[in-house]
Amino acid sequence: MKNKGIPAALLAVALGFVFFAFDPSTDGLFPKCPFLLLTGLKCPGCGSQRAVHCLLHLDFAQAFSYNALLVLSLPLIALLGYAEINRKKKPDFYRRIHRPAFILTYLAIVIVWTIARNLYDIHGSFI
């Protein structure tokens, strides 16, 4: 665990710097989503690069408009990440937050949101 932690932290810092310094919405440096290029449809992760750039500049409103799911998932990711790191030490806590109903709810939100954002793009509204 500790051996994996150091390169992961270095990668996170390096990526954090790149996403802080450059704006993916104006800079052509960043890769476009291959799923979007192939299908013309947005996947759950579209807008994440722009959203991360905004988050690093503490612009939560703009980040929310790029990828609302990402912003809303942040507390959840923090909680799950904490449970993951302490899985051996606190197995009860891990078990308590890994409820099937809880995960299925999140999965349903991801699916509904993915469909909704594509419908919105096609029609320009949710109607």
Partner 1 sequence: MEYYISKNNDKEGPFTLEELAAQHITPDTLIWTVGYKEWKPAKDIPELADIVFSTPPEPSQQPPMPKTWLVESILVTLFCCLPFGIVGIINAVKVDTLYYGGKYEESQYRSDQAKKWTLWGFFVCLGCGLIYLFFLFCAFLTGFYFF
Residues making contact with partner 1 (CB under 8 A): 27-29, 31, 33-36, 43-46, 48, 67, 69-70, 73, 76-77, 80-81, 83-84, 87-88, 91, 94-95, 98-100, 103-104, 106-107, 110-111
Smallest distance, Å, CB 81 to partner 1? 5
- What is the identity of the amino acid at 91? P
Smallest distance, Å, CB 35 to partner 1? 5
**Residues 56, 48: Cα–Cα separation, whole Å:** 12
Tokens of 96: 């308590």
Q: How far is CA 80 from the centre of its chain?
A: 13
Report which DSSP code applies to 87.
T
Smallest distance, Å, CB 120 to partner 1? 18
